[in-house]
Structure 1
Amino acid sequence: MRVHMDCAGCESKVKNALEKVKGVDDIDIDMGLQKVTVTGWADQKKVLKTVRKTGRRAEL
């Protein structure tokens, strides 16, 4: 998914939030492309909602 992130703090917030989602096995964040790749069995809508709750704009 694409997530608007400006700094390392944003990256950390997103990663910490996603680590708490049941079914998320791995999280890869590319700040340059503003791309977050989530691996696991988590529901897409729940993952997207979790990222948006951090205050970031996100889209699949």
Structure 2
Amino acid sequence: MADMQIVPACKNVEAQYVEMMVPLYSYGCEKKVKKALSHLKGIYSVNVDFQQQKVTVWGICNKYDVLASMRSKRKEARFWNSEDNIEVDQEPSPPPHRRPLALTKVRSLSWRAWKKVFIRSNSF
């Protein structure tokens, strides 16, 4: 997530505040969150309030990309405003990655194991 590029759509791009509610369990979590967000391009400052469980990011950034990078560290992260969370919850989630049945690994049995299978099945 740290390789996201900030591409301005026009010349008049202003910095914005992104406020998130992030569960923080210790002061080590606070450091981890600050380190993860400060490495994003376009972020000027990261303020973490441990008492309110609030993270404020200031910079030229897409707020959904900031939330996505925050969710890589804390799955329960969400925006501080409840209106913004409605938009995030409506996004369809990608289907889980599954291997096709033809490509699954099959363990081959030894000759001795095959004999046991056939002897048991034919002994009726």
Fold shared, TM-score > 0.5 on shorter chain: yes
Q: Which runs of 5+ in 1 are unaligned?
A: none
**CA displacement at 1:55 relative to structure 2:** 3.1
Match of 1:28 among 24, 43, 47: 47
CA contact (8 A) 1:28 1:37 kept: yes
Runs of 4+ in 1 over 4 A off after TM superposition: none
Matched, 1:39 2:55: no
**CA displacement at 1:46 relative to structure 2:** 1.0
Larger Rg: 2
Matched, 1:4 2:23: yes
Alpha-carbon distance between aligned partners in 1 of 2:75 and 2:38, rounded to the nearest angstrom: 16
Deviations 1:12-36 (A, max 9, x none): 1111000111111001110000000
Q: Which of the pair is proportionally richer in strand?
A: 1
Q: CA RMSD in A?
A: 1.0
Greater relative contact order (CA < 8 Å, ≥ 6 in sequence): 1
For these two proteins, the number of residue pairs brought into alignment is 60
| Structure 1 length-normalised TM | 0.91
Percent identity, aligned pairs only?
Answer: 38
Q: Which runs of 5+ in 2 are unaligned?
A: 1-19, 80-124
CA contact (8 A) 1:4 1:56 kept: no
CA contact (8 A) 2:67 2:77 kept: yes
